[in-house]
Amino acid sequence: MKKVFLYVILALTAASCSLDDGNQYTADELVPIESVVLPDTLDFQETYDFEITYERPTDCHAFLGYSYDSQENERTIAVINRIYYDENSNCQTLEDELITQTLPFEVLREDNYVFNFWQGVDDNGDSVFLTVEVPVRTE
């Protein structure tokens, strides 16, 4: 599954550049997740707002949404930013600009969930994940 997710990353990055309006360009890019806030236990058929924090790389990056893959009880999640620029843009690198977004999550299974939050790639080009297993309470 993690190799398939890497292919999604590559496809998203390679195919996302487009000419919008005149000389305006956009590109969609996955940005590494810094931290997450999850409950210790999930209640069956309840909905939660997970807090997901990432570092905004430049002032040209804006939150677009999530890449979300679901297989059995595993969920693989990454943050997607859209980069807005034109041929004269000088995107300014930001230092320590942490952004927190929520991800609504509805508990539809009665067994444990395993969440894999994408944190970037290592020196070998392999995806790195923060993995958290959360049990589900059914009563």
**Quick check: 17 pLDDT over 80?**
no
Is the pLDDT assigned to residue 13 strictly greater than 70? no
Would you give the distance in Å from CA 2 to the centre of its chain?
Answer: 14
Confidence at residue 84, expressed as pLDDT on a 0 to 100 scale: 93
pLDDT > 50? residue 113: yes
Question: What's the predicted TM-score (pTM) here?
Answer: 0.82
Residue 99, CA atoms < 13 Å, CB-side half-sphere: 19
Whether 66 and 79 have beta carbons less than 8 Å apart is answered as: yes
| pLDDT at 2 (0 to 100) | 52
Q: Give me the pLDDT at residue 22, please.
A: 57
Query: How far, in Å, are 36, 80, 94, 112, 120 from residue 31 at the CA level?
Result: 14, 6, 13, 27, 7
Domain ranges in the chain?
2-137
Give me 18's structure tokens: 């487009």
Tokens 């956009």, located at residue: 26
pLDDT 10s digits, 39-62: 999 999 999 999 999 999 999 999
Q: Please write down the HEC assignment for all residues of the chain.
A: CHHHHHHHHHHHHHHCCEECCCCEEEEEEEECEEEEECCCCEECCCEEEEEEEEECCECCEEEEEEEEEEECCEEEEEEEEEEEEECCCCCCECCCCEEEEEEEEECCCCCCEEEEEEEEECCCCCEEEEEEEECEECC
Better pLDDT: 10 or 92 = 92
Tokens of 105: 């999550």
The mean pLDDT value for 6-27 works out to 56
CATH code for the part of the protein at 2-137: 2.60.40
Read off the pLDDT band of 7 (50, 70, 90).
very low
